[in-house]
Structure 1
Amino acid sequence: MLKTAISGGVTRNSHARVVDELGKAIVGGTYSTGTVLPGDAELAERFDVSRTVLREAMKTLTAKGLVVAKARIGTRVTERSTWNLFDGDVLIWHLESGIDPEFIGNLAEMRLSFEPFAADLAAKRASPSEISRLYACVEAMETADAMDSFAFADLDFHLTLLDISKNPFMFSVGSLIEAALVTSFRLSSPYGEPSRQQATSEAHRAIVDAIANGNGSKAASAMQAVIIDGRDRISGEVAGS
């Protein structure tokens, strides 16, 4: 997700192209809830693909919760409550359809519900070598000499911390963190402002220091502060745009 945001696109095969274009149209509201999508013949002609490719694309969109096929009716767009918001494609389609302050707030709330606890767990479970990995991520953030290298170091820090929590369910929600960092990359990356880059790096270092000292509550508080700061920076950019 983050690599796609930085590069501005990705080469797609026919199946992925159909999924991406229809997914964007659904999430962006071109096809609203309850709408029946055009028939197979029309879509196959529009995308210049075989019906086999189109059927596989529809299966993918169904698996993401965006559509449901009904006999003698067609493929209908489902209620948003059924969409899999943990899916990387669905998240990026939301971001590409426009920065919605409510969506950004919801994303931050989800991160606040699990990342501080992951930091608490890491303080109890991390080995010295794992703590060194986190410090290396912070060092990479501090010394990053390009926006993309800073963004990747930031993402690596958060995903490494989830891994170190040693709860496999934590790592499975990493797409939410990546979506938040994609938004930050686009709107308010600290890179390019040395003081902000240093401050952001130090805020992440405070998390690692607390983990290294085995202080779970302090690690959780430091993580909470990082998430809230990022949320507020993005909200400020959206409000000012």
Structure 2
Amino acid sequence: MTRDAMTQAGDYPLARPVAGTGGGTRAVHDRIAHDLGIAIVGGRYQPGDMLPGEERYSAETGISRTAYREAVRVLSAKGLVYSRTKSGTRINERVRWNMLDLDVLAWMFEAGPSPEFLRDIFELRTVVEPAAAQFAALRRDAQDISRMGHALEEMRRFGLQTPEGRAADQLFHRLILLATRNESLISLSTSVTAVVAWTTHFARDERKESRDPMPDHDAVFDAIMRGDSEDARLKMLALIRHASGDAGMA
């Protein structure tokens, strides 16, 4: 994949869209996985609890066993459930959940993120993004700087209350990871930018936070542009600390 393709705004999904009611098996099993996923991460089902069997679920809902079976496979692939022959499907321990899966992240926020979950994802950002900013300051090129600057212009123009401003915010953070030239870090970029988007949504839409985030972003950009790796690391730490406060984690 080219760098241009990787930095398109459409490359920042929060989760796979949940299909509408008018589709076929695919639409039905996506809806079932979505509803069960929220019930699991929201605590309606606890680790060790058993999901309804195919026959019971089909009889109670009128939904085909095939659609339900496919939904369970989706949840299993995300680590939320496990199935055993003759013993049914049970909820996995949380340590087995793929917390960075885009759907799981979305379901966590739809269910209402716990303080512990918010702490965990901000700690993840604290581990990953300051180091990424540090490497980006050392390895960025003129094209990286141009794209980051444009993303900030769009963020400033539209603001975080709009989809366009939030997409620009995600793009800025993704461009920093791309500028590290580190494939392992880049592989985290979709999940990290989804975390950025969901925490922004939580802070701005749920908590009605109105703090101006631009000075923090401008400071990170300035340090990367100057090639000051240590200052880039420190400025990104400050950005994350302030974003954590916006989400009520101060």
Residue equivalent to 1:182: 198
1:15 aligns to 2:17 (yes or no): no
Offset of residue 202 of structure 1: 2.5
Q: Contact 2:203–2:209 at 8 Å: present in 1 too? A: no
1:227 aligns to 2:243 (yes or no): no
Q: Secondary structure at the match of 1:69?
A: strand
Match of 1:153 among 159, 168, 175: 168
Q: What percentage of residue pairs aligned between the two structures are identical?
A: 35
Offset of residue 4 of structure 1: 6.1
Instruction: Work out the CA distance in 2 between the residues paired with 1:78 and 1:165.
Output: 35
Cα shift readout 1:178-216 (whole Å, capped 9, x = no counterpart): 2243232233369995xx43xx22321211111111111
Instruction: Work out the CA distance in 1 between the residues paired with 2:14 and 2:186.
Output: 20
Question: Could you tell which deviates more after superposition, 91-100 or 131-140?
Answer: 91-100
Residue equivalent to 2:63: 49
Q: Contact 1:147–1:191 at 8 Å: present in 2 too? A: no
Q: Secondary structure at the match of 1:209?
A: helix
**Normalised TM-score (structure 2):** 0.83
Gap regions ≥5 residues in structure 1: none
Amino acid at match of 2:229: G
Offset of residue 144 of structure 1: 0.8
Q: How does 1:32-71 map to 2 (within 5 A)?
A: 32-71=46-85
Number of matched residues? 230
Amino acid at match of 2:117: F
Cα shift readout 1:9-47 (whole Å, capped 9, x = no counterpart): 753411211111111111111111101111101223455
Match of 1:99 among 107, 113, 117: 113
Instruction: Work out the CA distance in 1 between the residues paired with 2:30 and 2:215.
Output: 40
Instruction: Work out the CA distance in 2 between the residues paired with 1:235 and 1:3.
Output: 24
Q: Contact 1:150–1:191 at 8 Å: present in 2 too? A: no
Instruction: Work out the CA distance in 2 between the residues paired with 1:187 and 1:123.
Output: 28
Q: Contact 1:107–1:180 at 8 Å: present in 2 too? A: no
Q: Contact 1:23–1:93 at 8 Å: present in 2 too? A: yes
Instruction: Work out the CA distance in 2 between the residues paired with 1:129 and 1:22.
Output: 44
Q: Secondary structure at the match of 2:90?
A: strand
Structure with greater proportional helix content:
1
Offset of residue 229 of structure 1: 0.3
Instruction: Work out the CA distance in 2 between the residues paired with 1:35 and 1:102.
Output: 22
1:132 aligns to 2:146 (yes or no): yes
Instruction: Work out the CA distance in 2 between the residues paired with 1:135 and 1:191.
Output: 27
CA RMSD after TM alignment: 2.5
Runs (4+) of structure 1 moved beyond 4 Å?
1-5, 189-193
Cα shift readout 1:122-174 (whole Å, capped 9, x = no counterpart): 11111101111001111111111652222111111111111111112223323
Residue equivalent to 1:165: 180
Q: Secondary structure at the match of 1:188?
A: helix
Amino acid at match of 2:169: D
Question: Could you tell which deviates more after superposition, 71-80 or 99-108?
Answer: 99-108
For the structure 1 residues 23 and 161, does the alpha-carbon distance in structure 2 shift closer, same or farther, using more than 3 Å as the test?
same
Question: Could you tell which deviates more after superposition, 224-233 or 176-185?
Answer: 176-185
Match of 2:134 among 94, 109, 120: 120
